[in-house]
Amino acid sequence: MELRLLTDADADASTLMSHLAFGMPSGAPAAFAIGPDVRRWGIFDGNTLAAKANERTYDSMVGGRRVSTAGVAGVAVAPEYRGTGLARQVMTHLFGAARERGAVIVTLFRTAPALYRSLGFEQVAELVYGEFPTSALRGLRPRTTALRRATPADGRAIRAVYATIAATGSCLLTRDGPAFEISDERLVGSFDGVTLAIDEWGDVVGYLSWNRGSGYDESAALTVVDLLSTTGDGYAALLSAIGAFDAVTPTVRIRTSGQDPMHWVIPGAGWKVREVRPYMLRVIDFAGAVAARGWPPGLAGEVVLDVEDPLCPWNTGRHRLVLEYGTGRVDLAGTPGTSAPVTDAAEAEIAGQEGTAALQAAAPRITPGGLAVLFAGGVPVSTLRRGGLVTGSDRFDTLLDAAFAGPTPAVLDYF
């Protein structure tokens, strides 16, 4: 078996495998591209493609900073080769290769949870497709926010709204870089309409991208792709624009994720979840991930953690996580579970009396899945303990909770 990058010559085999795995229409034009935003890994048995996985280049915003991310999609193994460890093999290779190019986390939308869990992923967010009756918006009136249809000249303002929201959230993709390079014309023109919310100072504070759908009978629905605002009155204005479709589209379908303030503005009842796409994360470079993400600016302290990560062995060890008012770093302090991990006298001296004592005492143990949930933020350590993702000493739990209290993770782009 040979593990290598796919080339254009492998396009047909790869497309056929996607068809057999995911039921992609076989007659459709092949969406096989290799470029700066995607690498495709394959395992070959002679000339036969036996397994594959695609790795996309993204950045996620965590704690207000960019975290280099490998977005994995199209993981598939030919039926005859399933159950022989090929998915594990191609994914483990991808972890190392992604880390080499600077990625510190891997994320994906999963089908089989157990497969990815055994590879160190854990679910951190959900992309939710929901709906509510348009009549639920009756009576909604913005106070000061006005509405205007966007033109390509508003591209910058639309991107700025998304960027502001991504910067204050956790895990949202940055929507820039090679995977998101689209013109302002397409950004606005890919929808039936993009409607802007404009505050009393003339600034764009939110936008709504929507498709009208067909018909005006009881089955007609307005589909909202993005509904994002940085102000409550912006939500009221954008939702009132949707409410004005009441007579012709009785249903609103909408994509959402995480804690969406929209729910605090909709006056009526009837919200229903139609479809959920679970999003999983894996930390492939613990030290790199800690250095990359942002941390609470008002917090300083040290935590000692034991990590056991056989698939990314560079993560394994007793780590000292040091937080200093908005920045973080990880020092590898020894082998997990050892009572006296500090063998380097110089390091012991640097750590000082207190630091050395902390390193030598019992430390909490965290699984790769626990690391994923903790890193994304918003889940208390007590919950991780209940799920078996953290065990052992609880002496750092209060500090860990403060450090990872972060916003509820969210994702708004399917890949």
Q: Cα torsion for 297, 408, 390, 372, to the nearest 10°? A: -90
Residue 55 or 131: the one with the smaller Cβ distance to ligand COA is 55
76 sits near ligand COA (criterion: CB under 6 A)? yes
| Interacting residue with ligand COA among 7, 26, 48, 111 (CB under 6 A) | 111
Instruction: Collect all residues with Cβ–Cβ distance below 8 Å to 363 and sequence separation of at least 6.
Output: 304, 305, 306, 318, 336, 392, 393, 396
- Residue 193's identity, in one-letter code, is G
Residue 76 or 323: the one with the smaller Cβ distance to ligand COA is 76
| Interacting residue with ligand COA among 19, 82, 212, 395 (CB under 6 A) | 82
Question: In this structure, how many other beta carbons lie within 10 angstroms of the beta carbon of residue 361?
Answer: 11
84 sits near ligand COA (criterion: CB under 6 A)? yes
- Residue 281's identity, in one-letter code, is L
Write the interaction track for ligand COA spanning residues 5-24; mark x where CB under 6 A is met and - where it is not: ----------------x---
| Interacting residue with ligand COA among 19, 88, 159, 212 (CB under 6 A) | 88
Rounded to a whole number of angstroms, the minimum distance from the CB of residue 368 to ligand COA is 13
346 sits near ligand COA (criterion: CB under 6 A)? no
Question: In this structure, how many other beta carbons lie within 10 angstroms of the beta carbon of residue 136?
Answer: 19
Residue 110 or 282: the one with the smaller Cβ distance to ligand COA is 110
Rounded to a whole number of angstroms, the minimum distance from the CB of residue 281 to ligand COA is 14
Q: What is the DSSP letter of 106?
A: E
Q: Which residue's Cβ has the minimum distance to ligand COA?
A: 87
What is the distance, to the nearest Å, from the Cα of residue 146 to the centroid of all Cα atoms in its chain? 32
26 sits near ligand COA (criterion: CB under 6 A)? no
- Near ligand COA by CB under 6 A, which window of 112-120, 216-224, 300-308, 363-371? 112-120
Report which of 264, 249, 291 is spatially closest to residue 104, judged by C-alpha positions.
291
- Near ligand COA by CB under 6 A, which window of 39-47, 79-87, 272-280, 368-376? 79-87
Residue 30 or 115: the one with the smaller Cβ distance to ligand COA is 115
1 sits near ligand COA (criterion: CB under 6 A)? no
The total number of residues written for the chain in this structure: 415
Helix (H) or strand (E) segment spanning residue 142: none
Q: Is the CB of residue 222 less than 8 Å from the CB of residue 245?
A: yes
| Interacting residue with ligand COA among 85, 215, 267, 297 (CB under 6 A) | 85
Rounded to a whole number of angstroms, the minimum distance from the CB of residue 117 to ligand COA is 8
How far is it, in rounded angstroms, from Cα 230 to Cα 247?
A: 28
> For residue 328, what are its two tokens?
């973080």
48 sits near ligand COA (criterion: CB under 6 A)? no
**H-assigned helices in 44-154:** 86-100, 113-117
How far is it, in rounded angstroms, from Cα 211 to Cα 190?
A: 9
Rounded to a whole number of angstroms, the minimum distance from the CB of residue 413 to ligand COA is 16
How far is it, in rounded angstroms, from Cα 17 to Cα 23?
A: 9
| Interacting residue with ligand COA among 13, 70, 75, 363 (CB under 6 A) | 75
135 dihedral zone (left: phi>0; alpha: psi -120 to 50; beta): alpha
How far is it, in rounded angstroms, from Cα 105 to Cα 121?
A: 10
159 sits near ligand COA (criterion: CB under 6 A)? no
Residue 21 or 163: the one with the smaller Cβ distance to ligand COA is 21
- Near ligand COA by CB under 6 A, which window of 110-118, 284-292, 377-385, 399-407? 110-118
How far is it, in rounded angstroms, from Cα 92 to Cα 85?
A: 11
Helix (H) or strand (E) segment spanning residue 230: none
| Interacting residue with ligand COA among 23, 29, 83, 202 (CB under 6 A) | 83
Residues in the site for ligand COA, rule: CB under 6 A?
21, 75-77, 82-88, 110-112, 114-115, 118
